[in-house]
Amino acid sequence: MPAVPSCILDPIRDQFLALLPVREDRHPWGCHNPRISDAVVFDRLVQVLVFGCGYERAADHLCSATTLRRRRDEWIAAGVTETLRLLVLGCYDRMTGLELDRLSADGCITKAPSGGECAGKSPVDRAKLGIERSQLTDGYGIPLITVPAPANTQDHALLPTTLDRLTGLEEALGPLPENPCLSLDAGYDYSMVHQDLHARRITGKIARRGTKSPIQTGGRWVVERTNSWMNNFGKLRRRTERRKAPIEFFIALASAIITLHCLIRRAWTLYRWDTRPRNPRIR
């Protein structure tokens, strides 16, 4: 059974391979072992992302764990996954439309038993090592920005870094709406957050501390749903990578898969194409 349905995996793989730089064979005699296909390595890395397994379990006699790690580092250096994520976001915006005038942000803590650069003592898991994931989404829940940090970092402290990266989307999506509305929970109800949002000309809808507020109010529920989508990937639910670069690599790949999944599901009633699934509920 494939890790991701073919209607999602095939276009993601084709676009990813098209973005890879041309590799020059510099062996003087041309007699080295043949290079394993990038498509094979990509499919194995998707399995690692979805199932959360180690590279050794995804490897076999056709592709070793060392090849997976080496090829992953090559693609990280080339920045291919981030380019792929922006391309998928652009396609979604053109075909369905991103709701950038309504934003939502929240943090999510996951386990990091192996420690590493982004690991810290988790305040919700008896100070065991964990990672905080600051997530910014549009009004429907499409992941726009994801910032990893140690688990002992407070949500409101990560918000400026998350919003700083929002301006980088203008190159891929065009001008962003003026004065967007940002929905936040009570963990962001601090004066410094209010001042920062005012300086950025963002209207903040922040739940008050000490006041009960249902998650359905203010549009905050969409980012909670996105965090659940992210945690469906085993590699993001339980972080075993020690370096920040591989973590961001898998986050960008997961964001591209989630965005394409939402695009196919929402475009199912608007468009017709040859490989259109028989049912919008893709599993």
pLDDT digits (tens, 9 = 90+) for 51-82: 999 999 999 888 999 999 999 999 999 999 99
**Mean pLDDT in residue range 180-199:** 93
20: which 2 tokens? 């890879």
Q: Report yes or no on 262 lying in a domain.
A: no
**Mean pLDDT in residue range 36-60:** 94
Residue 73's alpha-carbon distances to 79, 80, 243, 249, 270, in angstroms, are 10, 11, 11, 9, 39
Q: Report yes or no on 58 lying in a domain.
A: no
Higher pLDDT, 23 or 199: 199
Torsion angles phi and psi, residue 144, rounded to 5: -100, -50
Domain around 177: 99-232
Q: Report yes or no on 169 lying in a domain.
A: yes
- pLDDT of 283 higher than 80: no
Q: Report yes or no on 87 lying in a domain.
A: no
pLDDT digits (tens, 9 = 90+) for 131-168: 999 999 999 999 999 999 999 999 999 999 999 998 88
- pLDDT of 112 higher than 90: yes
Total domains, the chain: 1
Reference 247, options 258, 259, 235, 257; nearest CA is 235
Q: Report yes or no on 94 lying in a domain.
A: no
What is the C-alpha separation between 221 and 105, in angstroms, rounded? 10
The shares of helix, strand and coil residues in the chain, as percent rounded to the nearest 5, are: 50, 15, 40
CB of 197 closer than 8 Å to CB of 226: no
Checking DSSP bridges between strand 129-137 and strand 102-111, what pairing results, if any?
A: antiparallel
Cα 135-14-232 angle, rounded to 5 deg: 35
pLDDT of residue 216: 60
pTM above 0.85, yes or no: yes
- pLDDT of 32 higher than 70: no
Which CATH number fits the domain that encloses residue 191? Answer: 3.30.420
